[in-house]
């Protein structure tokens, strides 16, 4: 096990843009965290994690990519009504697995685009379709039938495109993804960050576009507190008020990706000192 872990949470297309903007801003200030020994990616974070660890583009190039036209994306809406359905599901679930089962049923009942169409979108987002050989990348998803958290990596026997497609399978918006006969939905159904997977690492940076939790789903702040209590040094970064404004009301709107990326870049300056202390201590 290594020393450093970078946890990248879920948050739609705006989450992808904001995370890359933030990481680019940190690196531009002399704090590059992309060499972490472990990268945990959930939903939006799985896309960012796969892009970072591919080694194909620099952070500056990834940032410029966020500012370009979001070609190939399928427009979708994730507004107040959808969030209300999720919140109601949380209130009626005794634990994260029960919530996963509930969301899996909903995802299987809603008509969406086909799995292959969704895989194609994810494939074009990724810079490489192979798992990285260097840093350990872990991509999270949830078994739609059992609610169990799945953590895919290069030793799991699951292809990277399939793993990231499953991690981004937002219930009610995108189809569950079939892998080895089982169907999987968004890893954010278990937790918006799944920072518990970084347990045992000395230094953990959690970048979480969604700061909320509730009921059986712990907030990123609660997860950071548990890691700290277990002996890790943690820094948690969530969107500023200004950043949240740029996200708008639909985090899946391709048009909001570029403004979110710019807001992440602008917010980075406020976190340079604390991340430098964490990473270089």
Q: Where in the sequence numbering do the catalytic residues fall?
A: 43, 186
Strand partners, 185: 142
Give the C-alpha separation, 138 to 152, whole Å: 6
Task: Measure the CA dihedral 29/35/36/38, to 10°.
Answer: 140
Q: Tell me whether strands 233-237 and 38-42 are parallel, antiparallel or unpaired.
A: unpaired
Spatial distance between the Cα atoms of 261 and 267, rounded to a whole number of angstroms: 10
- Provide the token pair at 42: 């959930």
Matching residue, tokens 């427009």: 75
Which residue in the block uniquely carries the two structure tokens 């290069």?
154
Alpha-carbon distances of 236 from 117, 148, 183, rounded to whole Å: 35, 25, 31
Diameter of the chain by CA atoms?
A: 50
Residues present in the chain in total: 281
Distance (Å, whole) CA 233 – CA 53: 23
Beta bridge pairs of residue 137:
39
CA atoms within 13 A on the CB side of 85: 15
d(CA 168, CA 122): 9
Q: How far is CA 135 from CA 1, 50, 163, 174, in A?
A: 11, 10, 17, 29
């Amino acid at each position: 096990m290594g020393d450093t872990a970078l946890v990248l949470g879920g948050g739609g297309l705006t989450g992808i843009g904001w995370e890359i903007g933030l990481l680019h801003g940190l690196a531009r200030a002399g704090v590059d965290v992309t060499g972490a020994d472990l990268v945990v990616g959930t939903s939006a974070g799985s896309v960012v994690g796969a892009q970072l660890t591919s080694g194909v583009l620099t952070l500056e190039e990834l940032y410029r990519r966020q500012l370009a036209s979001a070609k190939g994306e399928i427009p979708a809406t994730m507004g107040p009504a959808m969030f209300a359905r999720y919140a109601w599901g949380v209130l009626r679930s005794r634990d994260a697995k029960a919530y996963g089962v509930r969301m899996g049923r909903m995802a299987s009942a809603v008509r969406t685009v086909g799995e292959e169409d969704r895989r194609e979108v994810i494939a074009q987002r990724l810079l490489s379709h192979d798992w990285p050989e260097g840093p350990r990348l872990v991509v999270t998803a949830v078994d739609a039938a059992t609610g169990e958290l799945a953590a895919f990596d290069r030793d799991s026997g699951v292809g990277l495109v399939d793993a990231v497609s499953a991690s981004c399978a937002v219930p009610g918006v995108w189809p569950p993804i079939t892998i080895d006969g089982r169907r999987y939905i968004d890893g954010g159904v278990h937790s918006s960050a799944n920072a518990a997977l970084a347990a045992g690492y000395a230094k953990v940076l959690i970048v979480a576009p969604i700061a909320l939790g509730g009921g059986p789903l712990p907030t990123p702040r609660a997860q950071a507190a548990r890691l700290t209590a277990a002996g890790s040094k943690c820094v948690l970064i969530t969107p500023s008020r200004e950043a949240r404004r740029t996200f708008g009301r639909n985090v899946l709107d391709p048009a909001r990706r570029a403004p979110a990326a710019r807001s992440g870049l602008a917010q980075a300056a406020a976190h340079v000192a604390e991340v430098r202390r964490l990473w270089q201590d």
